[in-house]
Amino acid sequence: MPALAGRVAVVTGADQPLGRGLALALGTAGAAVGLVGAARALAAVTAELDARGARATAVDTALSDAAGVTTAFATVADELGAPVCVVVHTAMEPAAFDPMPFEEVDDDRFDAIWEGTMHAALAVLQASFAQMRGRGGQILLVTPTVGMSGVPGLAPYAAALEGQRLLAKSAARQWGPDGIRVNCLAPAPEQVPIGVRSVDVSLAPAALGGPGDAEHDLGPVAVFLAGDDAHFVTGATIGVDGGVWMAP
């Protein structure tokens, strides 16, 4: 039986290649997948999941609307027939991806990237908790390695990534007794449109070559973390960048 058969998963940011690849991996592993975000942009991914025999739905929601996110998760649960027990959060404020010297960052831009990202992550975590409380579940935040490595021109993005990564650790510590695991998946910088290569943040090349394919290289790790075999793993950051950023 597929690893995630019978599970209902939510994926955010599936309109981007990274989220799309992970959604396809979860669906192929047997999960029914709810794509939460701008529904129009998600129709193609829903169709791809359908074509593979995976149940899928898209729910139109702005992640900036916390109450709306909780409602969207409930809608996914209703449409797919069971509470959401797997959440993969990949969505990121698009402004975060544009490099800019720090001195040129103004309040509006910092607000959009830092506050926008953190409010969305908090909304996704709280919506997840509403679904998983008393039942358990697995939450995965996708945080590219550039948050840990630092990168010039993208300080607000890096701050938002590390903010999310530590939000995951705190959630893991607090919600462990509820059977809720929270982990981070750290892909190579090439997996997001920031114009940064792995070799820009490390002297060494990717040990396994890189930067990898979202569905076929990152997807199996996401499926593992979402599945029962990872039942003792929480608060962890798993680097899946082909062996560039090796920390600690």
Partner 1 sequence: MTAPLAGRTAVVTGAGQGVGEGIAAALATRGANVVVAARRAETGEPAAAAIRDRGGEACCLVTDVTRGGDVQRCVTETVARYGALEIMVHNAFHGGRPHRLEDVDDALWATNSRTAVWGSYYCARFAAPHLRAAGTRGRLLLVTSPAGVEGSVNLPIYSPVKAAQRALAKSLAREWGRHGVTVNCVAPVAETPALTTAFAANPVLRERLEARTALGRVGDAERDIGAVAAFLAGDDGGYITGQTVVCDGGSFMGL
Is-contact 28 52, C-beta < 8 A? Answer: yes
CB atoms within 10 A of CB 84: 26
Question: Residue 5 or 67: which CB sits closer to partner 1?
Answer: 67
Question: Residue 23 or 161: which CB sits closer to partner 1?
Answer: 161
Specify which residues 13 forms β-bridges with: none
Is-contact 177 195, C-beta < 8 A? Answer: no
Question: Residue 119 or 197: which CB sits closer to partner 1?
Answer: 119
Compute the distance between CA of residue 74 and CA of residue 84 in angstroms, rounded to an integer. Answer: 8
Q: How far is the CB of 216 from partner 1 (least distance, A)?
A: 29
Total length of the chain: 248
Structure tokens at 201: 């943040």
Q: How far is the CB of 214 from partner 1 (least distance, A)?
A: 23
Residues that bind partner 1 (CB under 8 A): 101-103, 105, 107, 110, 114-115, 118-119, 122, 125-126, 129-130, 133, 147-155, 158-175, 235, 247-248
Q: How far is the CB of 23 from partner 1 (least distance, A)?
A: 25
Distances (CA, A) of 31 to 8, 10, 94, 115, 235: 6, 10, 28, 31, 23
Q: How far is the CB of 157 from partner 1 (least distance, A)?
A: 8
Question: Residue 111 or 213: which CB sits closer to partner 1?
Answer: 111
Question: Residue 18 or 141: which CB sits closer to partner 1?
Answer: 141
Q: How far is the CB of 43 from partner 1 (least distance, A)?
A: 32
